Copies of this chain bind each other. A is one copy, B any other.
Amino acid sequence: MILESYNNQEKYLVSIDCAIFGYHEGELKLLLFQREKEPEKGKWSLIGGWVNPDESAEEAATRVLQHLTGLHDIFLEQVSTFSKPNRDPGGRVISVVFYALIVIDGERMKLSSEFGAEWWPVKSLPTLIFDHQQMFEMSLERLRQKANYHLVGRELLPETFTITQLRNLYNSIFSKDFDPGNFRKKVLSFGVLDRLDTKDTSVSKKGAYYYKFNEQKLNESEN
């Protein structure tokens, strides 16, 4: 902005909303809150919060996520800003939208009891409030773009996993079935996975090797 009449200008509430993706039981899931008041009581919303005076939007999103999940170093990326004058019936609120990726483990499944948040499969979401459906769709699109050029397994899978698990994650993100052979070839060509000596024999007699991300190679490849 060029300096000009800062004082006569209207100010607005600024919030963040976050599409939090997780992966559980072979499905990509989204963390949602159920709204308890009118209007739109009973509908669901993304996780949100206000931007405080001492914070950037990124810092606000990080704070909200840490408070909710207890996790630090959550992967977070800005998606877009929603600013239609009447998008929120409660007042003029401009919302900066992010998406986040987190590993759903036992701890993270308890979010429901603590905060009333619930994981929903992205394939069958409930009705969302305001413009949150569009926020979700743009976030998923961004996640797909990200997953095209980088392996997103580290943010969504447990520390060790099989190629098949990784492929199922990708199947779930893109809603299609990747060819097992081609997927393996492609994924290993990134050169950022280390094969362990242990195998998962729960699904095949032969057994599938476990892999884990090599942090050093990840950094080198600017993943």
A51 within 8 A of B: yes
- CB < 8 Å neighbour of A96 from B11, B52, B83: B83
Which residue on chain B has the smallest CB distance to residue A54? B85
Q: Which of the 9-residue segments A1-9, A100-108, A162-170 touches chain B?
A: A1-9
- Asked if residues A14 and B15 are in contact (CB atoms below 8 Å), the reply is no
Q: For the complex, what is the distance from the CA of A53 to the CA of B198, rounded to whole Å?
A: 61
Q: How many residues of A contact B (CB 8 A)?
A: 41
Chain B residues near A52: list those with CB within 8 A: 10
Listed stretches A87-95, A153-161, A185-193; interface member: A87-95
Q: A1-B90, A54-B85 are in contact. List 19 more A-B contacts (CB 8 A).
A: A1-B15, A1-B45, A1-B88, A1-B93, A2-B33, A2-B35, A6-B13, A10-B50, A10-B53, A11-B11, A11-B13, A11-B14, A53-B85, A55-B85, A57-B81, A78-B80, A81-B81, A81-B96, A83-B96
